[in-house]
Amino acid sequence: MNGSILAEAPAVSPLSQYLEAVSLGALQGVAEFLPISSSGHLSLAQAVLDEATGRQIDPEGNRLLVIVLHVGTLGSILWSYRRDLWATATDVRYVTSVAVATAPLVVVALTPLKDRVEAMFAQPAVVGVCLLVTAGLLLAGQYLAVRRSDPADGEEASPSSREVTLPVAAVIGAFQTLALLPGISRSGSTIAGGLMSGLSREEAVRFSLMIGVPAIAGAGLLEAKSVLDAGVSLNALPIGPLAAGAGTAFLVGVAAISLLRKAVSNDRLHWFAAYCAAVGSATLVWQLT
């Protein structure tokens, strides 16, 4: 899943704390929405850092920052769709579709299976394969969207739908569950699932982001519960860097959502597919040589 960017323990210097928070906020804003898999990149970064220096990224570091970054990226979605947010929230059929699409992820995330799957598939070589899968999903989704609007000779154009039916929501929910694997992009898999199911380009992006609201909020709440259970001090990081990180994640997230919407509308998902394929292939070469 498009997961959180975790940091090493905060530096003592206040300036370093701000720089780290802003950097991680920017990375989170980009990786949460562009279909490149933040979880996959985090796994690869940890593997590269470990091999190069012997140090590992601390998965417990800056846990308060992780929570506020979720808040920042969640705000990006709400701001980007602020004009029709109320209409969406009061549309019982649409909200039901969001719930249906979210249910599979909730079931898996609340069981021990999630941790086992993530641990099993966190090896760099497997991440490389999953990035190639992400590339394939993006290309397949774009191909079907283009074929519907511009069919081959002798074929009739198939109209795209703006209505997310419950069966379509279930399919997209299944695609979202795949994103628990590091290297499978949440936004990429759900947008591809929507396009494959016949949704219009704009609605595929919109629904992907709408189901991102409970996904991101849920991830933040689970992290908050973990922080409270672990007895982490709420003063572990000053409020200034926390606010800077959240603000950066919000602003960069808004820009990333705008770029994503334009890329899908203009059939440019192959840009991200090429990037994922390149990183995935390079990872496999690195691991197999």
Q: What are the extents of the domains in the chain?
A: 14-288
Q: 93-108 pLDDT, tens per residue?
A: 999 999 999 999 998 8
pLDDT, tens only, 122-178: 688 999 999 999 999 999 999 999 988 766 544 544 556 678 999 999 999 999 999
The predicted model scores a pTM of 0.84
DSSP-assigned letters across all residues of the chain = -------PSPPSSHHHHHHHHHHHHHHHHHHHHSTT-HHHHHHHHHHHHHHHHS----TTTTHHHHHHHHHHHHHHHHHHTGGGHHHHHT-HHHHHHHHHHHHHHHHHHTSTHHHHHHHHT-SHHHHHHHHHHHHHHHHHHHHHHHHHHSPPTT-PPPPPB----HHHHHHHHHHHHHTTSTTS-HHHHHHHHHHHTTB-HHHHHHHHHHHHHHHHHHHHHHHHHHHHHHT--TTSS-HHHHHHHHHHHHHHHHHHHHHHHHHHHTT-HHHHHHHHHHHHHHHHHHHH-
